[in-house]
Structure 1
Amino acid sequence: LQESEERLKEAQAIARIGRWELNFITNALHWSESIYDLFEIDHSEFGASYEAFLGVIHPSDRDRVNHAFTQSLADKTPYEISHRLLMPDGRVKWVVEACRTDYDEHGNPLRSIGIVQDITERKQAEMDLQAQRDMLETIFENSPFIMMLVDQNMRVKRINRVGADFAGKLKEEILDLLCGEVVRCINSSGGLGCGKNAVCGECLVRTQVVHTLKTGDTILDAQGKFAVVRGSQELMLDMLVSTARVKVADLDFVLVTMSDITERKQAAAALSESEANFRLLVETAPEAIFIQTRGFFTYLNSTALKLFQAGSAEELIGRPLTDRIHPDYHDVARDRSRILNEEKQPVPAMEQIYLRMDGSPVPVEVSAVPFKYQGDNGALVFPRDITIRKKAEVALRESEERHRRIVEASSDAFLLRSGGMVIYANPAALKLFRANHPGDLIGKQYLGLVHPDDRALSAQRVQKNIDENWIASPREHRILALDGQVVNVESTGVPVKYRDETQIFGVFRDITERKRDEQEKEKLEAQLRQAQKMEAIGTLAGGIAHDFNNILSVVIGNAEILEFTTPRGDSSREGLGQILAASQRAKQLVRQILAFSRHGKQEKILIDPKPIVKETLEFLRASLPASIQLQHYLEPASGKIMGDPTQLQQVLMNLCTNAGHAMEKDGGCLQIKLSNTAVTEEDARFDPEVEPGGYVKLTVSDTGHGMEPSVLQRIFDPYFTTKEPGKGTGLGLSVVHGIVKSHGGMIKVYSEVGKGTTFTVLLPRAEGFEKAEEKPLQPMPMGTETILFIDDEKALADLGRQMLGGLGYQVEIRTSPIEALEAFRASPQKFDLVITDMTMPQMSGLNLARKIMEIRPGMPIILCTGFSEQINEHAAGAMGIRAFLYKPVVMRDIADAVRKALNPNMSDMQ
C-alpha cells in the first residue's frame, strides 16, 4: 500500500495534479503533498480550512470560485472551474479544479473531494496564440491597403475595412462575391468576370492568384492598370498587387493585397514636367542661380557663369564652393551650409564677397534654400552682384555724414520719418521727447507722439506732405514726451525722397515756456474780468437787497406785532401766519441775492455736511422723475466745515435741480459724492483760486445733454440761463458761486456735449473747532429802559417804536441822523441804548455811532443793516458797538440784541 501511495504521489507530481478533501463536520481541509507544492505553501503556513484555501486564490477570482463551490452544494452537483492563484512573490498560476460532494440521508453535505491541476503553461500558450491572432487581425483590419482572402474560385471569403470601403459595400455583402465584383472591375457584371470573360486572361489579379495557388510563390508589388467603375464614370487606375498562399483549416487560400497608386503616378508625371519647366526657368533667369550639394558646385545657370566669369560650367562643377568665396567668409559659409543641409532651413540674404575665376573680388548678396538635387541634399543659391549698389552706398554715406553733423549740432529737434515711423532723431529731439537714447524714439509711430487732440490735423498735413510734395508752414501743436508730459512745439515738415520712398524730415522747436506765459496771461486777464463783472453785479444786487430788506422789515415787523397782540383762537391769526411764512420765503430770497453779492450775514457754525446731503437726497427722491436714477457715495470720514447749513443745502439743491433739468427728457443718472481731499503746494501752484490744505469735496454729476464751451464760460453769470422762458431765473448758479466763494471755497465744472456735466465744490475742512451746544428757546426778554431808534424811513422808525414798545421799553424815534445826534447831545444821560440804521442820507449809522460815543464813551449802540461794505461785525465790535443786526429784523432778534447790549456780561456780542 505504501508503495502504491508513493507511486500515486509521483504521478500527481508529474501531472501537476493534487487532491484535496474538505470535512464539513470538522471543517478540516486536507491537501495532498502535490497541492502544497503547486500552491507553493509550507505546511506550517496553511490553516487547513476552507477560508485559508480561499486566501491563496487570486483576489479577482475569489468570489467566482466561492460561488461555484457554494452553488454546487446548493444544487448537489459536481463542478469544474479554472482560476488563478496568487503566489507569495506576486507571480500568477492558472489551475483547473473539479469537485464532488457526498451527502447524508438528510441531504446534508458530509465531505467534498476535489482535484487541482496546474494549467499555467497551457493557459499561457492559449493567451500567446490569442495575442498573435489579435495582432494579425489588427494588421489585417487596419492596413491602409485592400486585403482579401480569396479561394480557388476567385471568390472573396474575407475582406478588411479598406477593401469594403473601396467596394462601397458592407463586409457581409461582399462575402462570396467574385474578386472583380469587389474591386468593381468593368468586366465583372451579371456574375461574369474573374475567368468567365475573354479579357480575364489578361487580369493581373487573376493571373497572380492562379500562379500563387499552383506554385505557392509569393508575388510582391506587381504593377498594372485596372478599368473600374466609379458611379457613372469609367476610370483607369494604376494598382500594385501582391499575393501569398495561406492555409486555413487545411484549405489553401490566397491573401491578395492591392494599393491604388494612380495619384502617385500622376504626381510623378507632374513632378517630371515641373522639373523640366524649372530647369527652363532657371536657365533663362536674369539672376545668378547655382546648386551646391555637399559643399560642391553641381549646377550653374548662364548668369552665374557670367558672375564668376567662367567660360563653361565644367570649370566649376565638382569644385568646392569655398574656392570661389573670399577667405574672410569661409566660416560664415560653412555655418550657413550646416543650417541648409542639417536643419533644412533657408538662410536669409547676406552680403559676402565671391571670387571670380581670375581671383578678383565681387561683392554679392546671397540667399539660399534647402534643395534636393539628383538624390542629394543640397541648396539652391541666389547670389546677386551688388557692385553698383555698394559704390552708391559709399557716396550716400559720405553725403549723409556731412548732413548728419549739421543736424546733430542744431538746437532744433529733427525727426526723420518713413511710413509714419521715426527712423532718426538728433540729440535735440532726444531732449525734447525726454528720451535717454535714440532707440527710445526710433521705431515709434510719429502720430503716437502727437497729442490726441492734435493728431487728426497732423495726419492731414503729413498726408499732404507725401501726396503733394508739400513743404508745411510752421504750426503750433502739442506732443507727448516719453514721460507723459505734454510739450508745446512749433514744427514744420519737409518731404524728402530716399530709395524711391517719400520720407518726412520734421523740425520741432519747444515753445512750452512761451505758451505757458501766454496762457497764464490770458487766464489772469479772464479772472480779472470775471471778478470785476461779479463785483459790479454784486454791488448792484446788494443795493437792491438793501431796499427790499427795508420793505420786508415793515411787513414782517407789523405782522409780528399784530400776531403778538392778537388773542389765540382769533381767525385773523391764520392770515398773519401766512403773511409771516411768505415774508420768510422773501427773506430767504434776499439772502440768496446777498449771498451772491457776498454782503449777507453768514452764520457760520461747525457742521457735518453728511446729514445735510442725506436730507437733500430724501427731498430729491420725491421730486425727481422715475426716469432719473439717483446714486450717492458719502465717505464716512469726509470731514466738517465752518459754514451756513441753509446755504450749503441751497448749493446742493441748485446743482441737483440743474442736473435734473438736463436729464428730464431722456432720463439718466444723477450721482452725488462727498469725500475728503487735500490740495498740496504743488497742486495750488497750477490753480491760483485754491489754497493748499484739507477740503471737503462735493461732486454732483449727471448724464444729461452736456454744455458747449461757449455756455460753460457764462454759467456763473447772473440771469444767464439756457432754459426756456419761464423755467429759470438765471440766478441759481450765480448764487451757488457766491455762497461757495463766501465760504472760502471754489467751484469747478467739466462738461462734454452728449455725455453730461460734473460740478466739483471744494470747501475748506474745519480743524480744531467744537460744535456749540444748542440751547432751548427762551421767552423773549423785555425791559423798561429808554431807547433812541434812528432810521431814515418813517415806516421803519415807527415799526421800531411799536416793536420795542411792545417789549416794555420807552422809545424815541428820529428819521434824520442829524436830528438824532442833536437830541442825544442835548440829553446824553436820558438814553440807555441807541439803535441806528447803517445806510442813511447826510450821515451813515457808523459815523453817527462814532459821534455819539465821542459825547458819551461806552454808550450801548446796536447797528442795523441790510448789507455794508464799510464795516463788519468784528470791526464794529472793536470800536465798541454792542450788536450788529441784519434786516429784516424780527422781534426775537431785536429783543435778544437789546438785552445783550444793555447787559453785555450775559454773552459775547451777537
Structure 2
Amino acid sequence: MSKRLVNYGQRQMGEQSEEITEQLKSFMENNADAISIVDLEGKTLQVNSAFEDFFGWKNDEIIGKPFPIIPEFLKESVNELHSQVREGEQKKGFETVRQRKDGQLINVSISLFTIRDNKDEPSALAFVYRDITDQKLAEATLKESEERYRSLVEVSPEAIFVHRNGVIEYMNPMGAKMLGMDSVDDIIGMSVFQFVHPDSLETVKKRIKIMRDDYKAVDLLEQKFIRLDGQEFYGETLGLPIIYKDRPAIQVFCRDITERKKTEEILCKSNMLSAVGQMAAGIAHEIRNPLTTVKGFLQLLRESPDKKDYLEMTVSEVEKIEILANEFLSLAEPEAKVWESIQLTDILDSVIMLAEFQAIINDVEIIKEYKKNFAWVLGEPTQLKQVFTNVVNNAIEAMPKGGKLHIQLKYEGESIVISFIDQGSGISEERIKHLGQPFYSTTEKGTGLGLMVSTKIIHEHKGEIQFSSEVGKGTIVDIILPIDKNSQ
C-alpha cells in the first residue's frame, strides 16, 4: 500500500528520483508523528500509519479526497495558511485543533512546509502533527492552580512577598499595608533590607544565605522591621526558596505580631507585680508573727529583767526571722555548698529533739522507726536539716487535735527513702498537684516558701520529694536520696 501511495504522490508532485522516493517513504513510515501530504488543491496524497492511528482515517478512505481533518469553523483560515506556505513561508510548531474521524477535536502542534518538483516549483504541502492534548490539559490545570493560588495570596491576611537578591519582585496588598505603602506597585523594585531593623539585619542576611545557597526553608522567627514612615514593628517570618518567573527567588510570609508582643509585655508585668505582691504579703506575714512575740517578750523583760526564759524565747523568735531571710536568699542567690558524707539518723534525731516541744503542745507523738547509724548520703547537713524540720513542723501543724507522726527509713535499690507519716486531716488530690510551687501552702496562713525551698534543696541533692494523702486519714511525705556508696 505504501508503494501505491508513493506512486500516487509521484504522479501528483512530478517525477522524483528513486532515491528521494525511498527517503520520503522511510521518513514517513518510521516517524512517530502523524504525517500527511496534500496537493496544492487540498486533496490528500499520502499519510503514514501514525496518521491512521491518530486520526482514525484509513488510507483508502482519505487518499485523493479533500482534507477531512479540518473542522468546519477553521477551513477558511486553513486556506489562507496554505496560500502563505505556497508562497514560501515556513510554519513550524504552531498550535491549533484538528478533528478525528469520530468527530472529536484534539489539540495538535503542526509543522508545515512545501515540497517542490524538479523545477523548484511548489508541488505539494507536507504536514507533521503532534498530539499536545496532555500538554494543554497540564497547562490549563497549572494555570487554574496558579490563578487559585494567586487569589489566595492576594486576599491573605498575612504579608507575602518574593524577592531576588534582596530586590522585591512581588508583594500582596497586605504586605504593602504592613510596610506603610499605599500601593503594591510602589514597593516593587525596592530593597528588602530597607525595611529590616538594624537589630535583625544580620539574622535576616544569614537566613537569606541559607535559602539561596543551600536551597532550604528557614523556620519561623520573630524579627524587627521598619515601616516606610520609620515606625518599628515586630514580625513573625517564614521563608523558603522558590522558582519565580523561571528563576530562583525567595518567598517570605510575614505576620505583624506587634500587638501580641505588647500584650505579652503587659501580661509579664502584671504577673511580676502579682508575684511581688504575693511575696510581700508572705514576707510580712512570716516576719510579723515572730516580731509580735519578740515585742511581747521585750516588754516583759523590761518589767522583769531577771526572767531568763523570756530572753531565750526572744532569741528563738529572732532566729526564726533569720531562717526566713535565709530562705529568700537561697532562692535568689544560693550559697556555695560543702558536700560531705552524712549519717541521716543523726540529723533526724536532732530535728526530732528540736520539734519535741511543739509536738508536746499539740499532743503529737513522734515515733522513730529506724536504727541508729542506718544510712549515709552525700550532701550538705544544714540544708537537709532544714528540709526535715520543715516536713516535721508541717506534719505537727496538720494534727492540731493530736496524733502520731511515724518517721521511717528504708532502702530501695541504690536510694534511701525517708518517710514521714502523719495522722492529720490529709490533702486533696487537686491540692497535692500544686505542692512545691511558689506561694502555695497547705495551710491558710502559710506562704509555701518552706516547701518550695525544701523541694529545691532535695533536687540539688539529686533526690525527689513525693506526696501521697487521703483526706481525713493523713499524709505521707517520702524523701528519696541516693546512697553514698563510699561510706558503706
Bin for the TM-score computed over the shorter chain: 0.3 to 0.5
| TM superposition score normalised by structure 2 | 0.42
Q: Which has the larger radius of gyration?
A: 1
TM score, norm. by length of structure 1: 0.25
